[in-house]
C-alpha cells in the first residue's frame, strides 16, 4: 500500500469570520429546535436535520480477518455491537406517503463495556453541495429562519441558494444527482451509504462506504418507507460490506472539497454490518433522543475537515436544546 497522508489539525481550522457566522448559525439551530414540535406537528422537539426516524435497530460490525497489517490495530475485536438509526434528511417530519430519497444510516459502534467507540452518520448521497464554510453557514441559517418565520425569510433564502449554486456544477456532483434521480423509487436498504466528509483512523484520514448485499431494490414499492423497512425485517436479515478509502494525496482525495469524489484510492474492505430480522427496537422516547454526534467518538475516529468541524458545535446545541425541551414536555 502507498503511504497515507497523516492527520493534521490544520485541516479543521476555521477563520475568525467563519467562527462568527457559526455563532449566528447555532442560535438559528436553537430557535429551530425550540419551534420544531410546531413545525413538524409532533409532541416532542425534533432534530434540526434528519428529523424523521424510520427505525432504530441493533446490529453487529464483524471485522474482516484479512485486514492489511497497518489497519489491524484499529479493529482488535472480531465483532462490535451496533445501534443504528434509519432516517430522512428533511428538517421537517412529513406524513406524506412518499419521502424525498435523502436517507440517513447512522451507526453507533460500542465496545464490550457498552462505551461508544465511534458514531458515523452515513447518507445515501456521497457528496456535499457546498465547500465554502461561510456559504454553507449562511445558507443553513437562512433555511432555519425560513422554517421558523416562513415567507418573511423566503427572499434571503433564495439569495443564499443562488450563491451556493455554482458549487453544484462539478462532474462528480452532477453524475451523482443523475444517479439518484434514477434510483429515487428504490428501497431504503438497497442504497450504498457514505460518510460525506473524512474521518480520522488513528493518524490516517479515511472515508467510509457501506454497500448492501442482495437487497431487492423494488422491495415494498407500494408501501411507505417506514412500512417497507418494518416489513423487510420481519422475514429478512441485512448484511452490508464496509469499505474505507485512505487519503494519500490531497489533490486526488481532497479533505475540504466535499463536492468531489475521491479517486485513485482503492476501497479496502474492513468488515460487514449485519442486522438480523426482528432487530427493530421499540419506539421509545429514549431511542428518539439518541445522539449520533461523530464528535462523541474516540479521538482517533473523529471527523476531519472544516465543514465537519462545524458539526462539533451544531450537534451540541441541537442535542442540548432538544433534550431540554423534551424534558420540559414530558417531565
As a whole number of angstroms, the distance between CA 134 and CA 322 comes to 25
Tell me what pLDDT residue 231 has.
Answer: 97
Q: What values do phi and psi take at 176, rounded to 5?
A: -75, -30
* pLDDT surpassing 60 at residue 304: yes
Q: Which of 53, 108, 109 has the alpha carbon at shortest distance from 86?
A: 53
CA atoms 218, 221, 225, 227: torsion sign: negative
Between 94 and 321, the higher pLDDT residue: 321
As a whole number of angstroms, the distance between CA 306 and CA 266 comes to 24
Cell numbers at 13, concatenated: 481550522
* pLDDT surpassing 70 at residue 330: no
Q: What is the fold, at CATH topology level, of the domain defined by 9-330?
A: Catalase HpII,  Chain A, domain 1 (2.40.180)
Domain boundaries, the chain: 9-330
**What are the angstrom distances between the C-alpha of 143 and each of 48, 137, 160, 251, 308?**
10, 10, 9, 32, 19
Residue 49: pLDDT band by 50, 70, 90 thresholds? Answer: confident
Mapping DSSP to helix (H, G, I), strand (E, B) and coil, where does residue 243 land?
A: strand
Residue 1: pLDDT band by 50, 70, 90 thresholds? Answer: low
Q: At what angle do helices 133-149 and 16-40 cross, to 10 degrees?
A: 30
Find out whether 123 and 103 touch, Cβ atoms under 8 Å. Answer: yes
| Size (the chain), residues | 331
Tell me what pLDDT residue 239 has.
Answer: 98
**What are the angstrom distances between the C-alpha of 191 and each of 101, 259, 299?**
10, 19, 29
* pLDDT surpassing 70 at residue 8: yes
Mapping DSSP to helix (H, G, I), strand (E, B) and coil, where does residue 265 land?
A: coil
Per-residue pLDDT of 206-260, as tens digits, reads 999 999 998 999 999 999 999 999 999 999 999 999 999 999 999 999 999 999 9
Residue 150: pLDDT band by 50, 70, 90 thresholds? Answer: confident
| CB proximity list for 52: less than 8 A, separation 6 or greater | 87, 88, 90, 93, 94, 99
What is the rounded radius of gyration, in angstroms, for the C-alpha atoms of the chain?
19
Cell numbers at 45, concatenated: 422537539
Quote the pTM value: 0.91
Residue 331: pLDDT band by 50, 70, 90 thresholds? Answer: low
Amino acid at each position: 500500500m502507498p503511504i497515507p497522508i497523516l492527520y493534521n489539525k490544520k485541516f479543521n481550522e476555521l477563520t475568525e469570520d467563519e467562527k462568527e457566522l457559526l455563532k449566528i448559525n447555532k442560535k438559528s439551530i436553537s430557535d429551530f429546535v425550540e419551534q420544531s414540535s410546531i413545525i413538524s406537528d409532533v409532541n416532542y422537539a425534533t432534530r434540526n436535520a434528519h428529523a424523521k426516524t424510520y427505525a432504530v435497530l441493533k446490529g453487529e460490525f464483524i471485522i474482516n480477518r484479512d485486514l492489511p497489517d497497518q489497519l489491524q490495530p484499529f479493529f482488535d475485536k472480531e465483532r462490535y455491537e451496533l445501534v443504528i438509526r434509519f432516517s430522512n434528511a428533511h428538517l421537517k417530519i412529513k406524513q406524506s406517503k412518499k419521502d424525498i430519497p435523502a436517507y440517513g444510516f447512522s451507526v453507533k459502534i460500542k465496545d464490550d463495556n457498552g462505551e461508544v467507540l465511534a458514531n458515523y452518520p452515513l447518507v445515501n448521497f456521497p457528496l456535499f453541495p457546498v465547500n465554502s464554510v461561510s456559504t454553507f453557514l449562511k445558507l443553513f441559517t437562512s433555511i432555519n429562519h425560513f422554517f421558523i418565520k416562513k415567507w418573511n425569510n423566503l427572499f434571503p433564502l433564495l439569495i443564499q441558494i443562488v450563491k451556493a449554486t455554482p458549487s453544484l456544477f462539478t462532474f462528480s456532483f452532477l453524475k451523482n444527482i443523475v444517479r439518484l434521480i434514477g434510483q429515487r423509487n428504490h428501497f431504503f436498504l438497497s442504497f450504498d451509504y457514505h460518510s460525506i466528509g473524512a474521518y480520522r483512523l488513528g493518524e490516517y484520514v479515511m472515508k467510509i462506504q457501506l454497500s448492501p448485499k442482495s437487497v431487492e431494490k423494488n422491495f415494498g414499492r407500494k408501501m411507505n418507507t417506514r412500512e417497507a423497512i418494518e416489513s423487510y425485517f420481519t422475514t429478512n436479515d441485512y448484511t452490508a460490506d464496509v469499505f474505507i478509502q485512505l487519503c494519500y494525496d490531497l489533490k486526488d482525495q481532497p479533505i475540504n472539497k466535499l463536492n468531489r469524489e475521491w479517486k485513485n484510492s482503492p476501497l479496502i474492505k474492513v468488515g460487514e454490518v449485519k442486522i438480523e430480522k426482528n432487530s427493530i427496537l421499540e419506539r421509545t422516547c429514549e431511542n428518539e433522543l439518541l445522539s449520533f454526534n461523530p464528535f462523541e467518538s474516540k479521538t482517533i475516529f473523529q471527523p476531519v475537515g472544516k465543514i465537519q468541524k462545524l458539526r462539533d458545535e451544531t450537534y451540541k446545541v441541537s442535542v442540548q436544546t432538544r433534550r431540554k425541551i423534551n424534558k420540559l414536555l414530558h417531565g
